Chains A and B, each alone.
Chain A
């Protein structure tokens, strides 16, 4: 027996307090004066003795309660022999059902091994769990053999990416709740890719005994389509040819010729033969992807002829639609902004947008919902009616790019965006006569492909208070240059300078075209549509917190995984299966994505034995335990905190009852 926090024993000094109250204070009590003892008679011995006895009982209870409380803080524990707790141990059977377990008969072998462990577990409680990207408990801790076997049989192959770090984290959480020893049986292909980034992430608590059951012992050669580079959208009937690139990888494979096919809606439209080097990669390019209007389900397939056919294809979805209209509202006399923005959009590889430019007084009769996105350039005054309709447009899912320009400097705040204007910054007066970009968020699509806007000179900008907006680019003096705010279902991007070549030289810079193109795609939502996603990725369903229109998700099996409540309120959805998902988002747009397993699952290389032995730092002990499951003999500290606190509670109740009895007597006396 020991104490987890022995320094709390210093609290034993507090035991002096009841002694003082009960003994010292009693003895120093002053006699009580009365006018005359003429009518008094001495009545002493019997009742006083009785009272002292009762007081000693109360004192004892108080001392006991304090002692137990101090002991509870010191957190006592006893070392219990795990072997002696064999009947109390929990046998946790974890079967790996990650994507790699689809190879060959791995999952079936794992289930068979689990069945044999179940047969030999004796009377111990057991629990069955499936382990893909996360641990999924299939049963409660039970002893019922038939229920456990049924749970093992019910485990189906998944598409997730296994991670032993995630498994260890889940087991650590379980071990905190379950105080009995856990005998963890892991049935897995022990894929090297399942190892956590750090070995410490895989550490298991002391009361968990890991028994590993590897269903394969050596690496298996495997070819796979590692990645596909294809657009999610194609615009117009006469769009430029779209390239589709793919990378074919071989893991532990000899050099070989592989046939790669492009399949569109189940029909092979192109095929190529590619030489894949030994244990290497080869790129394939299909120069023209022909897809009809609407969403098309596309695949890149290889004739791998290996033991893992499930990873021989990679899915992606492509949508062909007409170019979308975009509206640019500019100030009188501002002809530069429409020119530069229009030129940039038409210069982009994918002519996805048709830009329409109008001056501000013509905007009243335009319906914003007819446009994929809108651009407000250098507006000094926005009519309130137009501002209201644009705000509603954004709230319902529309997007706007606002270029503040020089005219907005006379306003107090940016319309629609709502940011307060602090001051105007005229950099033509600083020594360099311009200000360059100081920092930028390279993860933002509109900036990612523009090389951080290096070399662009800004002569004028508005200093605004960003508030809750996301600042993507800042100038060298920390003035926010590009900001984004989500309003309702829509987005508003604010450029605190202009889109002409007067306030900056950005339109003359090569970075301007990708900025405009990516911003347009981002605002129109095109970059989020179509294409491919990995398994376990989250798909954004709506922006706003408030409940708006219901979303609809159809999984690869044609089922609708969201409940009505989730469809009305869920903001994101996790893609758990490989295949094609159809979606109807909260902003009314349709979408379809191809979902593929993590490419790491295709590398069937196994974890070396010495690395496995290092897991949990037990080395050869683990292998011995595998031979005789449940016979571990190490000691496990078991805290007695709960029992001590229970005793504290009981003594407190007894003390209260006794003390209230005394108080009752005193009231009666009064």
Chain B
């Protein structure tokens, strides 16, 4: 099972990169990530005059012995990041025009990120799978066996029902009580305005939110051999469409939809990346991680 998700070619491509969290969140264990709070660390930050009520443990007694003044020694806090992946497990994710459908691609992507976060960064990682409800929740943790729990959660995530961000969102906010990186993997077949409006509150709580928009090539450029009856995989609604329409108007609409979603998410301070399932996974991850690193 591990071999399925953690393909050596994928991990080999990304293991040399450091996952540097954009946002410093508070953590329990010192690590590689800088934190906005001061805490236990070897990296000195500054001295501050003691005021009553300060924790006496942080008083630099050596300075007091020399100067008879009490100063608190402060360090740059370093901690782990907290990664939560929200995986869309709706029916539309099952669509695929080649060997890998969108759901598989999203699984590979999530598994790769989990592996990197847990083994490479010693970050806490968690998973929420949802469609129109929350189907599975694995709390972020760094405990032994977390990676296997996450991968099992990915494996169990069967596509069903339809996507609806609004209903499970309130649960997201409850579950994501600590700040961290929130990655939302979906095909986002909803109006960009509704998506941003629903996800925006996560950003307000101090999370770094990134949208991985997973699409099949035929989602963008459908191929029809003639007038065809199309069936919506989520609603089972049918529609007769002509090749002329898919060749011209549809492509324009898709391009406008993608541009609108990208602009709105970035305007809301969130990251947005379009991933096509015919592109190699490692390239997509590398591109993402490179871009994330550049933003630090």
Contact = CB atoms under 8 A, between A and B. Distances in A.
Nearest to A34: B230
Interface stretch (B16-24, B31-39, B114-122, B242-250): B242-250
Interface of B: 92, 95, 102, 187, 189-190, 216, 218-219, 222-235, 237-245, 247, 249-250, 253-254, 257
Nearest to B218: A34
Interface of A: 31-44, 47-48, 51, 666, 669-670
Contacts of B240: 42-44, 48
B243 A40 contact: no
Given A35-B189, A36-B187, A48-B227, 19 more contacts: A31-B230, A31-B238, A33-B230, A34-B95, A34-B230, A34-B231, A37-B237, A38-B190, A40-B230, A40-B239, A40-B250, A41-B245, A43-B242, A43-B244, A44-B240, A47-B244, A48-B240, A669-B225, A670-B225
A31 B245 CA distance: 17
Contacts of A37: 230, 232, 235, 237, 239
A670 B92 CA distance: 23
A44 B231 CA distance: 15
Contacts of A47: 227, 242, 244
A43 B240 CA distance: 6
21 contacts: A32-B228, A32-B230, A33-B233, A34-B222, A34-B232, A35-B92, A35-B216, A35-B219, A36-B189, A36-B233, A36-B234, A37-B232, A40-B239, A40-B241, A41-B245, A42-B239, A43-B242, A47-B227, A47-B242, A666-B226, A669-B243
B247 A36 contact: no
Contacts of B187: 35-36
A278 B242 CA distance: 105
The listed residue with most B CB atoms (<10 A of its CB), out of A35, A40, A41, A666, is A35
B228 A31 contact: yes
B211 to A, nearest CB: 17
A559 B139 CA distance: 119
Contacts of B223: 669-670
A43 B241 contact: yes
Nearest to B102: A35
A38 B228 CA distance: 16
Given A43-B240, A47-B242, A38 B231 contact: no
B41 to A, nearest CB: 48
Pick the 6 closest A-B CB pairs, nearest first: A36-B189, A44-B240, A31-B229, A35-B92, A35-B95, A37-B232
A35 B223 CA distance: 14
A33 B235 CA distance: 11
Contacts of B244: 43, 47
A670 B223 CA distance: 6
A44 B242 CA distance: 6
A39 B231 contact: no
B226 A51 contact: yes
A333 to B, nearest CB: 95
A666 B225 CA distance: 6
Contacts of B239: 37, 40-42
Contacts of A41: 239, 241, 245, 249
A668 to B, nearest CB: 9
B95 to A, nearest CB: 4
Given A43-B242, A47-B242, A34 B233 contact: yes
B188 to A, nearest CB: 10
A38 B254 CA distance: 10
A43 B245 contact: yes
The listed residue with most A CB atoms (<10 A of its CB), out of B190, B218, B240, is B240
Contacts of B238: 31
A660 to B, nearest CB: 16
Contacts of B249: 41
B106 to A, nearest CB: 13
A38 B232 CA distance: 9
A33 B218 CA distance: 11
A666 B223 CA distance: 10
A38 B227 contact: no
A42 B240 CA distance: 5
A26 to B, nearest CB: 10
A36 B232 contact: yes
Contacts of A35: 92, 95, 102, 187, 189, 216, 219, 232-233
A216 to B, nearest CB: 83
Nearest to B225: A666
Contacts of B102: 35
Contact of B189 (A31, A33, A38): A38
Contacts of A32: 224, 228-231
Given A32-B230, A38-B189, A669 B253 contact: no
Contacts of A33: 95, 230-231, 233
Contacts of A40: 230, 239, 241, 245, 250
Contacts of A51: 226-227
B198 to A, nearest CB: 16
Contacts of B253: 39
A201 B229 CA distance: 73
The listed residue with most A CB atoms (<10 A of its CB), out of B232, B237, B250, B257, is B232
B166 to A, nearest CB: 16
B239 to A, nearest CB: 5
The listed residue with most B CB atoms (<10 A of its CB), out of A31, A39, A42, is A39
A39 B230 CA distance: 12
A575 B244 CA distance: 82
A34 B241 CA distance: 12
Contact of A669 (B189, B216, B224, B257): B224
A30 to B, nearest CB: 9
A328 to B, nearest CB: 92
Contacts of A44: 227, 240-242
Nearest to A36: B189
A31 B242 CA distance: 13
Nearest to B228: A32
Contacts of A38: 189-190
Contacts of A48: 227, 240, 242
A6 B218 CA distance: 54
A670 B238 CA distance: 22
A669 B95 contact: no
Nearest to B190: A38
A32 B219 CA distance: 13
A489 to B, nearest CB: 75
A670 B253 CA distance: 19
A667 to B, nearest CB: 10
A47 B227 CA distance: 8
B143 to A, nearest CB: 36
A39 B245 contact: no
A48 to B, nearest CB: 4
